[in-house]
Every structure is written in C-alpha cells, then in structure tokens.
Chains A and B, each alone.
Chain A
Amino acid sequence: MGLDIRTPIGLMFSIFGALLVGYGLLTRGSEIYARSGGTNINLDWGFVLLVFGGVMLWLGRKGGKKG
C-alpha cells in the first residue's frame, strides 16, 4: 500500500490545530465568542486537534518503522 494514512491524517489535524490555536490566541476576548457561549472554542478545540494530530503522527511513524 505504501502510504500510511495515519501520517497525512496526523499532519492535517496538526495544521488545523495550530491554525485554530493561533487564531484563538489572536481573538482572545473577541465578541465572536458570544456564539459559543463565551468559550474561546478555537483555542480549546485547537489544542484537542493538536493532541489528536500528534498521536496520529506518532502512530504513523511507529507503524512505518515496523513495516
């Protein structure tokens, strides 16, 4: 098969996570968060995506080494 799908998944969600965290930091206290009930959902969820992306990248690397 050649390509371990976990690597692109991990990469994509890491990028999404970084984008959301960055954007969340820039927009701290902004009125756009009235929609999400005052939570800076970009910052919080960005961290979740970063963790998920990181785990996928790590699994992809581990799988790649084994194969």
Chain B
Amino acid sequence: MHAGIQLGGIDYVILVVYFLFVLGIGFALKRYTKTSEDFFLSGRSIPAWIAGLAFLSANLGAQEMIGMAASGAKYGIATAHFYWVGAIPAMVFVGIFMMPFYYGSKARSVPEYLKLRFDEKTRGFNAISFATMTVFSSGISMYALAKLLELLLGWDFNFSLWASAIIVFGYIYLGGLTSAIYNEVLQFFLIVLGFAPLVYLGLRDVGGWAGLTAKLNTVASANGYAEGTWSQSWRHMSSPAANPMGVEWFGMVMGLGFVLSFGYWCTDFLVVQRAMAANSMSAARRTPLIAAVPKMLFPFLIIVPGMIAIGLTYANADFTLPKMADGTWDYTMVIPNMLAHYFPPGVLGLGLTALMASFMSGMAGNVTAFNTVWTYDIYQSYIKKDATDAHLLWVGRMTTVFGILASVGTAYLATQFNNIMDFLQLVFAFVNAPLFATFLLGMFWKRATGHGAFFGLLSGTLAAAAHHGTTIPAGGVGWIKGAWLTQWLGMAPQHTYPSEMAQNFWTAIWAWTVCFVATIVISHLTKRTKTDEDLKGLVYSLTPRPKEEHLPWWKTPEGFGVVVLVLAVVLNVLFW
C-alpha cells in the first residue's frame, strides 16, 4: 500500500546512474587515500569552493529538506528567518573570527581544539556527546529515507534501509572524507538543478509571486491572521500572537539568530570539518562565506514549494496536502507531493534522486564526522595512545563499519520507540545550546580556564534542562514537551509559551546565558593552567592576525563577509 508515485523506466535509469557515480567517485578516490589525514581531513587539500559547497550540503540533510518545506507551508516566508537570521550571520562570524583558530591551531577536530585550549575533560564531554549525536542523526536520516520510500514508492523498508547503508558505507570506506565532500558537491548541484524546475512550474501555475501572495492571503485569513502573514517575513513579528510561529522578534533574533545559530554553525564539527579540510588558511576562512551565498537563496528553492503547496490547498485547486490521523495537514509530505503533482516521468526521476541524495549525504556527513571524533578524540586519546598512522587509517575504516551499523540500529530503534528519539534529540539540544558561550570565551578571553569551561558547560546544560522542565508550550501534552520537573515537584508550570518554537528559543537563551556567566565566575575562582605561550594560536589576543595582502578588499575574507551580510540585509528588506 503506498500513496502513489508511479516511477517510469526513465526515472529508474536516472536513479541508477546517480548511484553508479556516487560509488564510482569512491573507487576513483581510493588510491589517493593513503594516510589517516587523507581519510579524516582529505589531506587538507580541498579548494575553497568545494569545501564551501560541502559545508552547505553537509547541513542539507533530510530534516532540512523536508522540515523547511513543511515550515514554508506552516509559517510561510517567515521560515526564511532560519536562513537569513539563523545562518548567515553565524556563517560570516565563523569564517572571519573563528576559522583562524580552528585551522591555525592544526587541531584535527572541534573536540581537539577544546583539548588544546582547555583540558581533557572538556574535550571528552564534547567528543562523547557529539559522537553519540552523530550516530543518532545519521540513523534518523536513514529511518526517514526508508519510511518515505515505503510510503511513496512502496519500496520495502528493510531494503531501502540496508541499500542506502551499503552505498554510504561503500563510498566512505573507499575515499573517506574526500568521498563524502565530493558527493556533497554533487548533491548540491542535484538539489539546485532538480528543484529549480519545480519552483518554476509551481510559480507559473499560481500566477507568479503576485498570484502566490493572493493565495497566501486567503490562507492567512482562514487561520485568523492578518493578510500577508505568510508572505511577509518581519511585519508580523511584533507579538507571538500575530504569527503562526508564536514567536516575537526578540526571541527570534536572540534565540535563533544568536544562540542556536552560532551554536550550530560555529561549533558543530559536522560542518566545521569541511572547512578544516580546506587547502589553506584563506580557503578555510572563505569556506563558510562561499556557503553563505547559496544558503541565503535556498529559501526560494525549499520554502517556496511549501508556500505554493499550502496556497493551492486553500484555493480548492486540484492539489491538497494529505491529512494526518488527527485531521491536521501532513506538512512533511509537501516536497514529495509537489514533485508528484508537477513532474512528469523524466524530471520526476531527477527530483526524487535529488531528494534521496540529500538524505544520503546527511547520513554520510554524520558518519565522517563520527569517524574522525571517534578515532582521534576517543580511540587515540583514551584507548591506544601510541597508534601508528597506518593503524589509525585502519581504525577509521573499521569505525565506518561500526558507525553505519550503529546508525542502522538507531533507525530500527526509531521504528519501535518514537519517544526515545524525541527524548534524545531533546537531550542533545540541552548539550548544544550553551556550547557557543564556551567557544566564545575560549577564543576571545585568555583568562577562561579548563574548570571554568567544563563546569560552565555543565551548568548551561542543566539550565537548559531546568528551563524545559519548568515551562510548557500552549497545548503541550506529555513530559517530552516540558514541565516534567514542576510536575514531579507537584507544582504548576512556571511559564506557558505561545508555541514550542518559542519555548525552544528561550531554553537556548537561558542555557547560553548561564554557561556564559558560570564560565566567567568559575574561571575567576580557578587558576590558569595554560600559559600565554600555550595559548598562542588558540586565543584572539595572543595570535598574530592572518595577513592577506596583495588582495583587493572584496577578495579578503573580511570584505567578502561584508558583501554577504549586505546581501542578507537586502533580502530581509525585500521580503519585510
């Protein structure tokens, strides 16, 4: 039983050609993968534009594609805040201010930077939580892919799961990070060229931007919001009641734009690893900036289809979103349903291949990051300190086997206990939220100590848990949504947020603030264990500025960063 896309022969041919190329790239790269640095860091040889596109694609997994299109239908163009506010400033910041320390310190991973800057326990905390998180994310990606193919094409769940696992395993085992990066670049072009005709056909069908706006006004009115709520990004952000996100501008800018966004783009090894693989300091600094340019245009590729879908649904056209068991729209089906609605066989194969590519590279990105952290930060640090390079390369390949099997296990776990997955994601959110405070203080304040960082991070994580445990979103039922602590203590929730998103943003704001303050206080109370000499190359005030003379201003990372920010402001104003 499946919800009906009939693939033609041509579509299968396109799919098969793509898989042949994916594996072919792995085989072609095998002979260049000789040392552990080749396997884990691509021998630090990747040109800026490739690293940049991979930086972007590594983040463009299943959750992103399906989730952002769904939000486009649910919230309209305001979803673009996740790009223009929630990504671009952080990407510029990590390129200009943080990359000199990541790349310059020769750390091989983000946890290793924490070891160099602070101490072993801070690294251990980050390495273990990150390694666990990547396995779970990769498992969730696999689960989502297999589930989607089952629903859409009637493919067997087990077959899809194992087939995707074997393909991802094959190309990472052979070519390591380079394989993953190359396939991410391939995926980037597939997404752009596979979805562009969808946006074109969709917009033409609804009568262009003007026609779409008119349809979205109907959607807004029908849901009790002012006209334009779905087609204007900022005008309805003055109070949580005025927009379907249930968030006001301050929570948006501070929670998403500052804490969550900087926490992800500046400290998550999944993306930072792509920049660390770049072939020079200037390429590493440009990596996130190059990624930022397509990133700010992606709303038109991913969010607009969602907006078209909801517009058509309310216009009583020949398209409606499917409904879930409880009668609400199933927003997660936006992309597959839009593909089936507008694409005849042929481009349909292209669109589906693009979708599958994004799921698989989401998996691969997590597996490569897991490999590196496990091998360098856990195996080499705690298990076998005197390992030879050949041994580490072997361990890396074996870790690929283990990482993939663990992901498959996680995917099966997800079929059994959906709650466990929600719970784990919640815990990781607690761990991640305060992380940016640790890095900010680590990189820009030489007085920050190892004890300060570790216990600050711990306090921030506990603060996140406490905030979540004492507040609840409107209509939230069950401990997973919050207020479990107050319930346990027999009290009423301390605060009710207008939406889950608002609760998430404020949890992050609390976690960050507590970590920031606690790190400063504890650092002042504890002794420095690293001298100025130790911290050279790791802290801003003790590191010589990277000089990029001979370049016109717009070719320097700083100039490029300013251009990117100006473009982002222009987009915000255009869709104000």
Mark A residues whose CB is within 8 Å of B. 1-3, 5, 8-9, 11-13, 15-16, 19-20, 23-24, 27, 30, 32-33, 35-37, 39, 41-42, 45-46, 48-49, 52
Contact = CB atoms under 8 A, between A and B. Distances in A.
21 contacts: A3-B32, A5-B185, A8-B25, A8-B186, A12-B186, A15-B17, A19-B14, A19-B17, A24-B346, A30-B344, A32-B344, A35-B341, A35-B342, A35-B343, A36-B342, A37-B201, A37-B204, A37-B205, A41-B344, A41-B347, A52-B193
Interface in B15-72: 17-18, 21, 24-25, 28-29, 31-32, 42-43, 45-46, 50
Contacts of A3: 25, 28-29, 32, 182
B45 A1 contact: yes
Given A37-B205, A39-B201, A49-B193, A5 B347 contact: no
Nearest to A43: B346
A52 B193 CA distance: 9
Contacts of A33: 344
Nearest to A20: B346
Interface in B295-352: 341-347, 350
Nearest to A7: B28
B50 A5 contact: yes
Interface in B388-445: none
Given A1-B46, A1-B178, A36 B28 contact: no
Contacts of B28: 2-3, 8
Given A12-B17, A19-B14, A36-B344, A1 B32 contact: yes
A27 B346 CA distance: 10
A46 B10 CA distance: 13
Q: Give the secondary structure class of B's interface.
A: helix
A9 B185 contact: yes
Interface in B164-188: 178, 182, 185-186
A33 B122 CA distance: 58
Nearest to B29: A3
B13 interface: yes
B250 interface: no
B197 interface: yes
B554 interface: no
A41 B342 CA distance: 10
B189 interface: yes
Nearest to B31: A2
Contacts of B32: 1-3
A27 to B, nearest CB: 8
A34 to B, nearest CB: 8
Contact of B14 (A5, A8, A16, A37): A16
Contacts of A42: 344, 346-347
A51 to B, nearest CB: 11
Given A1-B32, A3-B29, A45-B197, A9 B17 contact: no
A35 B344 contact: yes
A32 B347 CA distance: 11
A31 B42 CA distance: 49
Contact of A5 (B18, B43, B182, B193): B182
